[in-house]
Structure 1
Amino acid sequence: MSNSEAGQGTPGGARPVRPTGWKRFVFRAPIHLYRLGLGGLFGKRLLLLEHLGRTSGKTRRVVLEVVSYDRQARTWTLASGFGTGAQWYRNLQEQPRATIQVGRRRCAVIADFLPAEEGGRIMARYGAKHPKAAKSLTGYMGFEADGTAEGYRQAGEHIPFVRLVEQ
């Protein structure tokens, strides 16, 4: 499977539904906490991504879960729960330079889009470390991961992953 095919949908064809109304408000609430200087409440589990809109050119913000962090390499790995259609994902494809904030720390990053095989390995490791979150993520995306490393690896090959590299 090519990088562009990863995350185009799920094996059953189901796609996660983007939140609207009050659910959208709840999903976006962490952005306001970061703006208030309270990003530290999330530790290193969440980050604020500031990127450029591909058509508007305006700064866009989204809070995302960190799948893994490599302190030595200074990289953060993210999964796109809405597949390759997520606005932040598409915006980074157009303009891979962005800024992140983790806690109170801000830094410039560049996005590196990972191949499906690497996504599978990442998801298998994530599933072992965070079994409840992994089961929730794969279920949300329409996969029926059986909770095994192999099941998470197979699901991870269909989930688009992005590694943010500090500049």
Structure 2
Amino acid sequence: MADDPKPSGAARLAAKVLRTRWVVRAPIRLYRVGLGFLFGHRLLMLEHVGRKSGLPRYVVLEVVDRGTDSYTVAAGFGERSEWLRNLDAHPRAHISVGTSRRVPVEAQRLTADEAAEALRNYAASHPRAWSGLAPVFEQTLGEPIKESGTTLPLVRLTLTDLD
């Protein structure tokens, strides 16, 4: 899906920054004090349960697709993403997005083909953002993002009444 097979210096730098804990945790503080609306609906904060500890865990993620009752997010570090592994163990979670806080959701992984389609739609809707994100995802995954059957895991978070 990305045109340039060789990652740019910017993509390598961005991938390195995404591995810097305090940088990626900074938006969580904004959500927790009620300022998550500043990010609109392009980002959301996922509150999930640690698979080993059972404690609440938080991560802010880019929204790849927004349906009437769901949000789709990408696991930029692939199967190594702790939040992804936690959702596999405990699919019930909460999201904060826009002005909504702690909305209950049920997580479901997309198939590789569904994920590829969602990424194509995202690239068409947000070409500038995708041109920056695709090389970063390829750096964090360690492989190119494919047109079909992508290995980049995507998760649909469906709003639910269950709490």
Q: TM-score range by the shorter chain?
A: 0.7 to 0.9
Give 1:17 deviation, angstroms. Answer: 5.4
Q: Distance in 2 between matches of 1:141 and 1:77?
A: 16
Contact 1:121 1:156 (8 Å CA) reproduced: no
Pick from 133, 137, 144 the counterpart of residue 137 of structure 1.
Answer: 133
**Percent of paired sites with the same residue:** 45
Matched, 1:52 2:49: yes
Give 1:103 deviation, angstroms. Answer: 2.3
Match for 2:158: what amino acid? V
* Corresponding position of 2:98: 103
The C-alpha deviation readout for 1:139-166, integer Å capped at 9, x for no partner, is 11227xxxxxxx9761771211100001
Q: Distance in 2 between matches of 1:31 and 1:101?
A: 10
Pick from 54, 65, 80 the counterpart of residue 85 of structure 1.
Answer: 80
* Corresponding position of 1:94: 89
Runs of 4+ in 1 over 3 A off after TM superposition: 16-20
Pick from 19, 23, 26 the counterpart of residue 26 of structure 1.
Answer: 23
Q: Unaligned regions of 5+ residues in structure 2, if any?
A: 7-14
Match for 2:85: what amino acid? R
SS across alignment from 1:154: coil
Give 1:27 deviation, angstroms. Answer: 1.4
Q: Unaligned regions of 5+ residues in structure 1, if any?
A: 1-10, 144-150
Match for 2:132: what amino acid? S
Q: Distance in 1 between matches of 2:128 and 2:24?
A: 19
Pick from 37, 54, 58 the counterpart of residue 40 of structure 1.
Answer: 37
SS across alignment from 1:122: helix
Matched, 1:61 2:58: yes
